[in-house]
């Protein structure tokens, strides 16, 4: 009967602990909620803080992505766009289309 009394006592202890919100088995503490590393978000303030951080990240990520795409767009325009030299060549070509020049700088008739 001594063994049954000890078992009943442990079962009663476990029931009491479950009523208080925690489950303890042989020195092991079980938490409910979210765990990141060794940190548990198992209380209302911690869960609320985690939610607020999540909302902040949710609203910040599009702006960060926009910043990266703006930098990319500027690099594409700068590296692949027209240069001053190519613009100058285009201007000279349009100004002197159909005109022949002599070596001394005179315009030759067409």
pTM over 0.85: no
Residue-level pLDDT, tens digit, the chain, 110 residues: 455 665 666 667 767 766 665 555 566 677 777 888 888 888 889 889 999 999 999 999 999 999 999 999 999 999 998 888 888 887 776 666 667 778 888 877 76
Question: Can you tell me the distance from the alpha carbon of 28 to that of 22, in angstroms, rounded to the nearest whole number?
Answer: 10
Q: Where are the domains of the chain?
A: 31-108
Q: What is the residue-wise DSSP string for the chain?
A: -HHHHHHHHHHHHHHHHHHHT-EEETTEEE--SEEETTEEE-SHHHHHHHHHHHHHHHHHHHHHHHHHHHHHHHHHHHHHS--HHHHHHHHHHHHTTT-EE-TTSPEEP-
């Amino acid at each position: 009967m001594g063994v049954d009394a000890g078992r009943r006592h442990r079962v009663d202890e476990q029931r009491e602990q479950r009523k208080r919100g925690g489950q303890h088995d042989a020195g092991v503490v079980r938490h409910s909620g979210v765990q990141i590393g060794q940190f548990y978000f198992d209380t209302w303030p911690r869960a609320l803080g985690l939610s607020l951080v999540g909302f902040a990240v949710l609203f910040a990520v599009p702006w960060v992505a926009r910043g990266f795409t703006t930098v990319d767009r500027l690099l594409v325009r700068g590296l692949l766009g027209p240069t001053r030299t190519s613009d100058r060549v285009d201007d000279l070509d349009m100004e002197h289309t159909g005109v022949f020049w002599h070596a001394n700088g005179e315009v030759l008739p067409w």
